[in-house]
Amino acid sequence: MKPVSPETVLVTGASSGIGLELAKCFAADKSNLILVARNSGALEKLADELRCEYKITVHVITADLTKPESPSEIFAQVGRTGLTVDVLVNNAGFGLHGVFAELPLLHQLEIIQVNIAALTALTGLFLPGMIQRKQGGILNVGSVAGFLPGPNMAVYYASKAFVLSLSEALHEELRGTGVCVTNLCPGPTETNFSKVARAYQARITQVAKMSSEEVAGAGWQAFRAGDCLRVPGKGNFLLVQLGRFIPRSTLRKTVAKYNKLK
């Protein structure tokens, strides 16, 4: 998808990790930005850096996507600024390690609220305008977890399966409209995600991780190319392909072992 001029990109979860690096990718492309996250201090710092380095306009919206009303409040705040969102990057998301029955139900429901409900709401709010203008797009940050059953991280894996299915469906529905939906599905990545998910405990099984910068670059390239799906990293791509042929019972046991904590 070629950028319109001037293009405005809204990025959720932009204060760190993949979201921060995606914001940098679009900034380097001279896109104006709307950065959304809970950490207003980190957002303002990033906004100042991007304004200075790339000479673009950057707006900051502090919002907590665990709250059901947040997507509509974000949409209303964007409207009050008079901005038009050409690209929506649904990056915000989190997960928790542990056995489903032993984890706090409230936190499990917050995963669904952020990873599924907020993503769906923001998409539903901003997509009609893109279709009307016949340009724009949505970049959803999913995970290789969306292709797998997820014992010991059940709700997170299920939420990313939703993102995968929704993204593929919308990509096809929007064919010929000038609007594209891309799903970026990274594997293990160097971010704060693991610290939040594991409460600073370590997995028994350790694997190599890609950098947030590498993952974001791959996602940005896939979006600009109009691709439906991108799984960055040869190992992650191979895992997704092997998952089609390995019995589900074997996949469940393998993932359960991988997600087990010390």
Predicted confidence band of residue 137 (pLDDT cuts 50, 70, 90): very high
pLDDT at 242: 86
Amino acid at position 111, single letter: I
User: Choosing from 156, 157, 200, 258, which is the catalytic residue?
Assistant: 156
Q: What angle do CA 8, 135, 65 make, to 5 degrees?
A: 50
Reply yes or no on whether the pLDDT at 203 is more than 60.
no
Predicted confidence band of residue 1 (pLDDT cuts 50, 70, 90): low
Predicted confidence band of residue 201 (pLDDT cuts 50, 70, 90): low
List Cα–Cα distances, 106 to 98, 109, 113, 121, 227, in angstroms: 14, 5, 10, 20, 35
Instruction: For 220-241, write each residue's pLDDT tens digit.
Output: 999 999 999 999 999 999 989 9
Please state the separation of Cα 233 from the chain's center in Å: 17
Reply yes or no on whether the pLDDT at 199 is more than 50.
no
For residues 47 and 60, the answer to whether their CB atoms sit within 8 Å is yes
How many residues can be counted in the chain? 262
pTM above 0.85, yes or no: yes
**Is there a catalytic annotation at residue 156?**
yes
> Tokens at residue 148, please?
């797998």
Assigned CATH class of 8-258: alpha beta
Predicted confidence band of residue 262 (pLDDT cuts 50, 70, 90): low
Cis? peptide before 128, omega within 30° of 0: no
List Cα–Cα distances, 15 to 12, 18, 52, 175, 222, in angstroms: 8, 9, 17, 32, 22
For residues 235 and 183, the answer to whether their CB atoms sit within 8 Å is no
